[in-house]
Amino acid sequence: MVSQNLLNIVDTAMVGFLGDAALAAVGLGGFIVFMCQALILGIATGVQSSAARRKGEGRPERAAGVLNTALLLVLVSSPIFSIILIQLAEPVYPYLNSDPEVIERGVPYIEWRLAAIVFVGMNFAFRGYWNAMDLSRLYMNTLIIMHACNILLNYVFIFGKFGSPAYGVTGAGMASAISMGIGTLVYFYLGFRHMEKGSFLRCLANRKETGSLIRVSIPAGVQQLFFAAGLVAMFWIIGRIGTPELAAANVLITVLLFAILPGIAMGIACTTLVGQALGRRDVEDAYRWAWDVNKVNIVLMFVLGLPMWVAPDLISSIFIHEPSTRELARWPMRVMGLTMPLEAFVFSFMHGLLGAGDAKRVMVVSIGTQWLIFLPLAYLVGPVLGFGLLGVWLLQGGHRALLSILYTSLWRGRKWQHIEV
């Protein structure tokens, strides 16, 4: 998710110079792509949970088989997904936004991003493995290479530099797809260089390990699918309010996704620490790790949320060049800043549960609160009652508060300690 967040952030910042319609196209398009990729993204959680458990058991060589099996599953399934979804992009997009200019710019962007699903899936499988094996520096180094390529290629393709035509929003999609491919090649190189000798692409998980991988990956993927679909639904709701509001919402989500990256990183670390502790059969250590990670996360989220409250216009001006659209984003961004500490509880305990293999309950909580509570109320408050973008964002803060309470309660309940992965 981190790498996809960064791709969306860079795309949003660079197409912001092309106007509100371009911002809306990339914003809605990015979350449509996230939704389409979601089932594949669950593989990262499955690999990390299973590989961390194997490392904690003192059997790191078995973790390689988990990664190899995940890569095979991605290679077989992703091309089918890409072909089907690319065919659906053009007929489905108008149902999500009726603005002809947004549709014209958004569809090619989506098609390029969907073509790279196989690279996305492999990237996430490697991410889960490196984090589980305490080699997250390899993941971070690859992210730096990949996103440096994305920034350069965005500059070339969006604005027509170094002899390239100016593709505009489509160029951002092209750059993202190519950059993900480059990242995948780097991961394969690192696999041959850093994994146990003779283990990379040489062995597969056994039946029990494959079953555990699938049991964790599918609920995690379904959770991501409904979360992403919920974001698309939220953009559809805000699109009913107006295109400027949709452009402002895209920037708000982009800023949020950037600000929570350290919280996500801490959560990913928590997944590994919990998984390894449970592999050692040290349940108390696993329980404490989530609380310790949460303490650090609260401080991080508070510090990162403070600028949103103090200087919302300064932040939004990085992406938005229309004064009226910046004004629309001002108070929702302040609300977002105030609720940032709640994200600490969500990420710490949600990822702790995933590290323990408790993906089913995480899925139920995530889908239930978003689709049965937040989205119906957002439609009522925004387009129907006329409270606009600010009303929707106040509800979003309430939704995150509810999630923080529920995930904390699940962790304190400790039913996760009996799950075998």
CA distance 5 to 383: 27
Tokens in use for 141? 């180094």
Neighbours of 166 (CB within 10 A): 13
In order of 58, 86, 184, the CA distances from 76 in angstroms are 31, 17, 16
Please report, for residues 127, 140, 205, 212, 363, the alpha-carbon distance to residue 219 in angstroms, rounded to integers and kept in the order given.
Answer: 18, 26, 20, 12, 6
Determine the number of helices (DSSP H) and then strands (DSSP E) in the chain. Answer: 17, 0
Q: What is the mean pLDDT of residues 48-66?
A: 86
**Residue 396 confidence (pLDDT):** 93
Residue predicted with more confidence, 169 or 366: 366
pLDDT at 216: 87
pLDDT at 29 over 90: no
Task: Judge whether 14 and 152 are in contact, CB under 8 Å.
Answer: no
| Distance (Å, whole) CA 55 – CA 371 | 37
Only one residue has tokens 């990262």, namely 44
Burial 274-283 (b: 16+ CB within 10 A, else e): bbbbbbeeeb
pLDDT of residue 188: 94
Check whether 9 has a pLDDT greater than 80.
no
Q: Is 388 left (phi over 0), alpha (psi -120 to 50) or beta?
A: left
User: With bands split at pLDDT 50, 70 and 90, how would you rate the model's confidence at 152?
Assistant: very high
Specify the pLDDT at position 3: 61
Kindly report, residue by residue over 238-253, the tens digit of the pLDDT.
Answer: 988 988 888 888 889 8
Is residue 180 packed enough to be buried (19+ CB in 10 Å), middle (13-18) or exposed (0-12)? buried
Mean local confidence (pLDDT), 335-352? 94
Domain boundaries, the chain: 2-418
For residue 63, what are the contacts with CB-CB under 8 A and spacing of at least 6? 50, 51, 54, 55, 129, 132, 133
Report, in angstroms and rounded to the nearest whole number, the Rg of the chain calculated over CA atoms. 21
Which of 24 and 414 is assigned the larger pLDDT? 414
Q: Are 50 and 216 in contact (CB under 8 A)?
A: yes
> Is 366:222 a contact under the CB 8 Å cutoff?
no
Residue 2: pLDDT above 70? Answer: no
Contact 393, 252 (CB under 8 A): yes
**Sequence-ordered alpha helix ranges (H) in 356-414:** 359-369, 375-379, 388-413
Whether 34 shows a pLDDT value over 80: the answer reads no
**How is residue 383 written in tokens?**
């387009």
Q: Which range, 125-139, 216-230, 361-375, has the best average confidence (pLDDT)?
A: 361-375
Residue 408 CA to residue 405 CA, distance in Å, equals 5
Asked if 348 contacts 268 with a C-beta cutoff of 8 angstroms, the reply is: no
The answer on pLDDT for 404 being more than 90 is: yes
Question: What does the pLDDT average to over 28-33?
Answer: 76
Average pLDDT over residues 111-125: 92
List the structure tokens of 299: 């401080």
**Inter-residue contact 307 to 337 (CB < 8 Å):** yes
Query: Band of the pLDDT at 362, cuts 50, 70, 90?
Result: very high
What is the chain's mean pLDDT, rounded? 88
Res. 149: pLDDT tops 90: yes
The pLDDT-based confidence of 88 (bands split at 50, 70, 90) is: confident
Q: What is the pLDDT of residue 1?
A: 56
CA–CA gap between residue 259 and residue 247 (Å, rounded): 19
d(CA 390, CA 335): 8
Give the tens place of pLDDT for each residue, 266-284: 998 899 999 999 989 999 9
Q: What is the pTM of this model?
A: 0.81
Contact predicate 399/369, CB 8 Å: yes
Q: Is the pLDDT of residue 90 over 80?
A: yes
Evaluate whether 357 touches 421 at the Cβ level (below 8 Å). Answer: yes
Portion of the chain with pLDDT greater than 90, in percent: 44
